[in-house]
Structure formats: C-alpha cells, structure tokens
Amino acid sequence: MNTELPGATAPPHHGSIVVGVHETVFSGQALRWAAEQAQVEGRPVLLAHAAEGSLVSRYAGAMAAGETVLLRAAEVVRRAAPDLDVRRLLRPSPATTLLTELSTDAWMVVLGSRGRGPTLSHLLGSVGQGVVRRAACPVVVHRPGNPGLVRDGVVAAVRATGDAEPVLEVAFRLASQRGLPLRVLHVVWDPGSAMVGASVGDLTQEQASDELAVGEALAGFGERYPDVHTTVAVTPGLPERDIALAAHRADLLVVGTSRLEAWSRLLVGSVAVSALERATCPVVVVPVG
C-alpha cells in the first residue's frame, strides 16, 4: 500500500513520525514509543516497509509479506493510541533508500534494534547503519532495556561547539513533552582517565573553555523550556565510555552526529556508535551538519 496522493502539495508523510517496519520492531517497544510520541506531538505515524526482491515470484511474495507486517504494526500502534492517524507505506525499494528518502520530510524516524550485541552491525544491521548516517532528521533507535531499571530523565551528550544546539533543541523538547529532567553532559577528552580512572594532565584551561562554550549553547533554552529541570556537567574522561555510562539509567539519550563525517566515525568509533552499542534506553541521533 502506497499512501502517496497524486497532486498533493506536500508528501503525505510530511512532518510524520516514520517507523521503519521490520520484524525487529515487534521485539521491543519501538512501535509503542513512536505512538506515544506522535500522540504528544499531534503528528501522524507513517509505517514504512520496503519490499525487496529481484525475481517476480520473490517480489510478489515480498509485497504480500510487507502488507501483512504493516497491518500487524498498525494494530500495535492503534492499541497504544486509538485516535492516532496511522498511515502505511509499502514500496518496492531497498530499505535504507526508502527510509533515508522519507527522512527528508519526516520529523523523526524510529527504528527497532536486534538486541544487545558487541557490534553495531549485529545491533542495527546494514539498514540501520545506513539510516543513522544518512538521515536528514533525528533517528530514534529503540534499544531493549531492563524494564525493572528506575530511569531518571533525559541525557543530552553535547560537544563544545555550535553542533550542540540542534542536540539541545531535541533534548529539551522531548524532556518537556515527557515531563522529564534533563542532564546536559560534555566530556572533555582525557586519555589519562583510561589508565588510572582520573585525569593525569592539567585540563583546567580546556575545561573552562568548554564550560563557557556549553553555557553559550544553552543560552535561551531555559526561557523557552522553563518546565525542564536542567543540570549541566562538564567533566574530564573518555566520551565514548562516560556518556554511555551516564545514560545507564536514562529514559532517553540524545547525541549528535555529522552526516558529512558519519561514515568515518562509524568505522573508527564515536560517541553515537558507542551509545547505540551500549545504551539500555532509546538513543536519539540528531544530524548536526
């Protein structure tokens, strides 16, 4: 089912929360999380499934299976939010291509994950990797967590640059909508902490400079979101390790990644990748350039 309307002035998924529908979304809470977020935002949900198959018989089977999985997903969403506008899109296309294309007009893309594993490939698969590094809007990867763990709000991991503002915008908005406190965290890279658990160099000047930059990035958010209780921490350490640890009890972790640099980061490791591998909460990856 393709819900695109001929003659429409804007794509029917414009401003939607797009959910990539695959079997992975049924093993966790991705569909329910997307439904809750769409309800808070007053946005429709677009359930998108890419049917891939080269042979005619395989293509027909993929389309039929895709329609079945979309109907199943729609039922989950409607049970979570009965009044929600739920749309379905079934298209013969590579999944990464479809979801990346939809991200240009979506407000958010939501993906499930395969469970905890030692590598990003195991966690997301090639589709998830492609969408995270190419999407034009925030991508939420809903990690399976420990349901008995007490959660304590939103963690926004920021750099001491202008890239912090898009991450903060998403973090403040989500915290406000969900009535959660927000912890803004910047980790000043300190290689000594990997060896002895504490800084071995003098990072005073760098830390002071980064504190100033983070403070400048935060300017105005408190006035726009007075309901969000916010704390700020600028500490020395290893970003890939410490941000994942800080988010251990978080409801949400929000991180940024540059589309221009994302491929190299995925290869060599980054805060976003580390978070996606280790987090026990949904991770929101925000494109920042």
Task: Answer yes or no: is pLDDT of 171 > 70.
Answer: yes
Instruction: Check residue 195 and give its pLDDT.
Output: 55
Confidence of residue 277 (pLDDT cuts 50, 70, 90): confident
Q: Show which of 142, 176, 194 is a domain's final residue.
A: 142
Share of the chain above pLDDT 70, in %: 78
b (16+ CB within 10 A) / e for 130-161 = bbbbbbebbbbbbbbbeeeeebebbbbbbbbe
Over range 15-38, report the average pLDDT. 90
Domain extent for 230: 154-287
Residue 10 domain flag = no
Q: Tell me, yes or no, whether 204 and 281 share the same domain.
A: yes
Instruction: Check residue 135 and give its pLDDT.
Output: 93
The mean predicted confidence, pLDDT, of the chain is: 82
pTM: 0.86
pLDDT, one tens digit per residue, over 79-112 is 999 999 999 999 988 899 999 999 999 999 999 8
Q: Tell me, yes or no, whether 272 and 162 share the same domain.
A: yes
Residue 9 domain flag = no
First vs last C-alpha separation in the chain? 33
Q: Show which of 142, 175, 201 is a domain's final residue.
A: 142
Confidence of residue 217 (pLDDT cuts 50, 70, 90): very high
Residue 3 domain flag = no
Over range 159-169, report the average pLDDT. 90
What are the residue ranges of helices labelled H in the chain? 30-41, 56-80, 95-103, 120-134, 164-178, 193-196, 204-218, 221-224, 239-246, 262-268, 271-278
Confidence of residue 258 (pLDDT cuts 50, 70, 90): confident
Share of the chain above pLDDT 90, in %: 49
Q: Show which of 92, 107, 142 is a domain's final residue.
A: 142
Confidence of residue 244 (pLDDT cuts 50, 70, 90): confident
Residue 83 domain flag = yes
Q: Tell me, yes or no, whether 172 and 282 share the same domain.
A: yes
Provide the number of structural domains found in the chain.
2
Instruction: Check residue 248 and give its pLDDT.
Output: 85
To which H or E segment does residue 89 belong? strand 86-92
CATH of the domain at 107: 3.40.50.12370
CATH of the domain at 199: 3.40.50.620
Residue 147 domain flag = no
Q: Tell me, yes or no, whether 134 and 193 share the same domain.
A: no
Distance between CA atoms of residues 238 and 243, nearest Å = 8
